[in-house]
Chain A
């Protein structure tokens, strides 16, 4: 059970708005979650669901006058949204770190990987450059870079994609952060390399006890790594559950759609089942449920409730919340009918 002490990150009613020429975009709406020390929370959703933006907001990396972050983020009990940016900067890269989707563009092309790692050490530690380089070399060895003595003075473009992501991971973990936000860490990589990187993350998590917020749209990765899952759609959290609960008893039609669109080796199907339609425009959100326009089951709800009212995030079981107007018996019936989850 979650207690105050073992919570590393608590996000409460996080909102992110962008002011654009076309109007205000509500990229993240009232998202709340907690991450326990050493555990992994996966945030799942399509492009534009607000998963990356919410994590950038937590890190204090949403720059520019046109974005507005509100709500509360407690990191180790320290509130970050209203905090002095300088305080947040000191935490960044030290206590909380982030890795990104495309390691080639995320590494600076003009500096050697050794320089870039040592730089990360030197910002937060009062040690000599030589010690920092030694530490960089140790960390590179740890993430499985071969012949480090040679690689350390190479530039990102000289490494393979998997190597680069290993370098990013080394750079993020070099100061032993308590929280790592991994923004689609395997999306840009080959499938075989993906597995290696995930394995590496798992090992390092065990070793350092780092909590991970894993942003992904790959449910395979989620099943592999996550303890808890937050499903986001149109900037809102639509389902929040332990990883078993989510895969076995998904409650929300969008989650059903996500699960149905994953190819399964045991089931012979001619075609995958995609979710029809596309995510809502963030400029023009539906008035009721965000998923209503694409939902196949809205007709089963009386009084057009899906069009008029956005359902609340309600507890389904102890470790499971979802937003849906369908009654519990309706959901069970649909899941049995469509063979979704474990029935």
Chain B
């Protein structure tokens, strides 16, 4: 875990340096003179060897760091992910501001798709081969095939622009203006949920059908358990494990920034930050966004492993 994070930080750091441009040159705009570039290079420590730079960067994350020396110093507090010249702000501030938006988006969509996906997967599995199953799987196939940017744009064009069902997206914190928050978030949630629900419907259905063919299901029936108990207690529980895995990783992926959805609905989340940083060559921000996303994935992996043990006693250490 620690090793993973260390490796990860090295890779993202190298990413920063792999970009074929001079980071110092990017620190000032059109009015740049070689003198300013050189001064900034020293201020940011970019003249140091790579290893020193990396250690400085890591140090910044854990204890903060001070850029420059003498009078022209600049304090970057813990956890310092760097300074974004494009935005004239600490990267940490950018991330911290964007993070809640992405979290609301991811968690809302996650809840929606888990409920819809698992529920319809169960219904489809229960009525395997009948019209309910065919309908659900048909819809799921369509949902699965539609890219997010397409669904998102459709929603945007019809629900907002044409029919004015919802106001134009304008993100407000749920604590300041809950109504505006929900109005803005509804479509992004649904957009993301459509794709993932379709996937989870298929996953749940196939998992349940697979476990229904297991020997222990036959045993449960041989005990005389009602079909409802066989299904809920024996088949569903066993089919849950892969769903938990997928769910954890998908949620983590989204927490790192749902780039397209955030972009379409102008949500100021991590995905927007990342895209903005990429188009602006804002290297410290790109590095930070990648790092944050990767940390989410690693944490999710850990959580999934723990959940495994909760669900499946065979995984537990005895």
Contact = CB atoms under 8 A, between A and B. Distances in A.
Contacts, number: 74
Contacts of A142: none
Contact of B215 (A91, A97, A106, A158): A106
B237 A123 contact: no
B215 A92 contact: no
Nearest to B314: A157
A102 interface: yes
A55 B34 CA distance: 89
B132 to A, nearest CB: 14
B313 A109 contact: yes
B234 A91 contact: no
B238 A92 contact: no
A52 to B, nearest CB: 11
Nearest to B235: A108
B224 A107 contact: no
Nearest to B237: A110
B221 A107 contact: no
Interface in A87-104: 89-94, 97-98, 100, 102
Contacts of B312: 109-110
Interface core residue of B219, B314, B318 (most chain A CB under 10 Å): B219
Contacts of B215: 100, 102, 105-106
B226 to A, nearest CB: 7
Contacts of A283: none
Nearest to B313: A155
B216 A119 contact: no
Given A61-B218, A105-B215, A157-B314, A110 B238 contact: yes
Interface residues of A, number: 31
A93 to B, nearest CB: 3
B129 interface: yes
Given A107-B219, A110-B237, A158-B318, A93 B313 contact: no
A200 to B, nearest CB: 19
Given A108-B238, A109-B313, A110-B237, A98 B222 contact: yes
B311 interface: yes
Interface in B191-240: 214-216, 218-227, 229, 234, 237-238
B9 to A, nearest CB: 38
Contacts of A107: 216, 219
Given A155-B313, A155-B314, A109 B223 contact: no
A93 B318 contact: no
Given A65-B129, A100-B215, A157-B314, A119 B225 contact: yes
Interface string A114-144: 0000011001100000000000000000000
A288 to B, nearest CB: 35
Contacts of A100: 215, 218-219, 222
A155 B315 CA distance: 11
Nearest to A168: B219
Nearest to B227: A89
B224 A61 contact: no
A61 B221 contact: yes
Contacts of B219: 100, 106-108, 168, 171
5 contacts: A89-B227, A90-B224, A91-B224, A92-B224, A100-B215
Closest 6 CB pairs of A and B: A93-B224, A92-B224, A105-B215, A93-B223, A108-B216, A98-B222
Given A92-B221, A106-B216, 14 more contacts: A61-B218, A65-B129, A93-B225, A105-B215, A106-B218, A108-B238, A110-B237, A119-B223, A123-B225, A123-B226, A123-B229, A157-B314, A168-B219, A171-B223
